[in-house]
């Protein structure tokens, strides 16, 4: 049974009230207390209805959420726990629940980037601690790719909030090519991850192009509450990034027909794990298989192709063929030069 955030706040508030044995709680008292808590935590000014609190009490009494709360009514007016030591936070869970929750915790812990959201990290830590108090700790049975050494992940929570609030930012940024950092005003629109590296997609106040700012190159930033935010007016980002591998693209880039010929030893991997959602199988030959993807020509595409080394050949477009050929020649030159140096040293 799915439970939303507001319902959990109500249950927790009712639980706190009924655990307080020094006050007699009428239904009206519970309604008032829950309404106050919802206002304090969520800014809800409409309060809560009598029917809602009555339904909450019935649900807490039931086994639907596993609470089985012993809520009784004394003198036909006052609500309290029959067991003075009861709390829904101490409600027992069965072994199946424990195993499932341990499984979920193991998965959540792998998403290290999102662990920087303070509330999420705290929730995971407390959940894990409570689970492992009464059961031995098992190893993880799933591992997800992450890079704990990568800089910039700590920026994610504040950037995420700035995007939600549509806040302009003053960002100090130092690209790999720049000798000095620069401070500029940006309007952030999207957080995007590629191969465990994070980027904020934004537009600079001076300039109309979308930019990819790598979080590991962001030195610091601050919100500018008095700076009007300029909303993104282009196509939605799902469409904008649907025709490329990676994140590098400008508004003028258009997808091109990229034709790749793989040897048949590696072709099955490309079939089962497509390079891009547009991938098509064009031809199967005796020793090779030819694929087509419709993507923007960018740095990440070149890296993807070069990663297959001698197992792939680019057949088109001509511009990409020339780029890959040039880079392979430069790579070969490094080994030829090293071989020459080694030969001279031995001589």
Task: Give the pLDDT confidence of 198-252 residue by residue, as tens digits.
Answer: 999 999 998 878 999 999 999 999 999 999 999 998 888 989 999 999 999 887 8
Of the pLDDT bands very low, low, confident and very high (cuts 50, 70, 90), residue 43 is confident
Six-digit token pair at 62? 């039931």
pLDDT top residue among 71 and 99? 71
Is residue 26 within 8 Å of 18, Cβ to Cβ?
A: no
Provide the sign of the torsion angle of the four alpha carbons 328, 330, 334, 335, taken in this order. Answer: positive
Task: Return all residues near 286 (Cβ < 8 A) that are at least 6 apart.
Answer: none
Q: How far, CA to CA in Å, does 80 sit from each of 10, 17, 41, 48, 63?
A: 16, 8, 24, 20, 18
Residue 139 pLDDT > 60, yes or no? no
Burial class (CB in 10 A: 0-12, 13-18, 19+), 246: buried
Six-digit token pair at 162? 């700035």
Name the pTM for this structure. 0.60
Is residue 296 within 8 Å of 241, Cβ to Cβ?
A: no
What is the 8-class DSSP label of residue 229?
Answer: P
Q: Which helix (DSSP H) or strand (DSSP E) does residue 314 occupy?
A: strand 312-316
Q: What is the mean pLDDT of residues 186-195?
A: 93
Of the pLDDT bands very low, low, confident and very high (cuts 50, 70, 90), residue 58 is very high
Name which of 168, 170, 151 is nearest 215 in CA terms: 151
The alpha carbon of residue 200 and the mean position of all alpha carbons in its chain are separated, in whole angstroms, by 13
Residue 103 pLDDT > 80, yes or no? no
Name which of 68, 70, 60 is nearest 13 in CA terms: 60
pLDDT at 307: 95
Of the pLDDT bands very low, low, confident and very high (cuts 50, 70, 90), residue 2 is very low
pLDDT top residue among 196 and 135? 196
Distance CA 347, CA 338 (A): 14
What is the 8-class DSSP label of residue 226?
Answer: T
Distance CA 219, CA 196 (A): 19
The alpha carbon of residue 168 and the mean position of all alpha carbons in its chain are separated, in whole angstroms, by 22
Query: For the chain, what percent of residues have pLDDT higher than 70?
Result: 80
Task: Return all residues near 27 (Cβ < 8 A) that are at least 6 apart.
Answer: 50, 53, 54, 79
Is residue 205 within 8 Å of 211, Cβ to Cβ?
A: no
Neighbour count for residue 141 (Cβ, 10 Å): 9
pLDDT at 131: 58
Of the pLDDT bands very low, low, confident and very high (cuts 50, 70, 90), residue 65 is confident
Of the pLDDT bands very low, low, confident and very high (cuts 50, 70, 90), residue 138 is low
Helix, strand or coil for residue 176?
Answer: coil
């Amino acid at each position: 049974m799915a439970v939303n955030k507001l319902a959990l706040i109500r249950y927790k508030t009712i639980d706190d009230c009924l655990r307080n044995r020094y006050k007699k709680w009428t239904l009206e008292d519970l309604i008032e207390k829950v309404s106050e808590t919802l206002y304090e935590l969520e800014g809800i000014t409409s309060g809560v209805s009598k029917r809602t609190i009555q339904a909450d009490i019935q649900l807490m009494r039931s086994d639907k959420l596993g609470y089985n709360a012993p809520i009784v009514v004394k003198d036909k007016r006052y609500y309290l726990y029959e067991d003075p030591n009861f709390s829904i936070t101490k409600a027992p869970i069965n072994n199946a629940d424990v195993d499932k929750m341990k499984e979920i915790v193991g998965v959540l812990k792998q998403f290290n980037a999102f662990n920087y959201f303070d509330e999420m990290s705290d929730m995971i830590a407390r959940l894990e601690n409570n689970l492992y108090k009464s059961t031995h700790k098992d190893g993880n049975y799933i591992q997800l790719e992450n890079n704990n050494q990568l800089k910039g992940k700590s920026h994610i929570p504040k950037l995420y909030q700035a995007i939600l609030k549509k806040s302009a930012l003053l960002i100090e940024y130092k690209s790999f090519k720049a000798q000095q950092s620069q401070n500029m005003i940006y309007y952030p629109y999207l957080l995007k991850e590629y191969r465990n590296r994070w980027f904020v997609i934004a537009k600079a106040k001076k300039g109309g192009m979308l930019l990819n700012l790598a979080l590991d190159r962001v030195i610091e930033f601050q919100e500018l509450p008095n700076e009007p935010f300029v909303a993104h007016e282009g196509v939605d980002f799902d469409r904008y990034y649907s025709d490329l591998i990676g994140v590098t693209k400008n508004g003028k880039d258009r997808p091109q027909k990229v034709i790749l010929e793989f040897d048949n030893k590696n072709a099955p991997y490309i079939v089962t794990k497509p390079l891009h959602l547009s991938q098509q199988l064009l031809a199967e030959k005796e020793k090779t298989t030819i694929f087509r993807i419709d993507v923007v020509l960018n740095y990440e595409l070149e890296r993807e192709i070069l990663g297959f080394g001698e197992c792939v050949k680019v057949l088109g477009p001509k511009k990409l063929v020339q780029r890959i050929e040039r880079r392979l020649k430069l790579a070969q030159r490094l080994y030829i030069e090293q071989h020459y140096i080694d030969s001279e040293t031995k001589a």
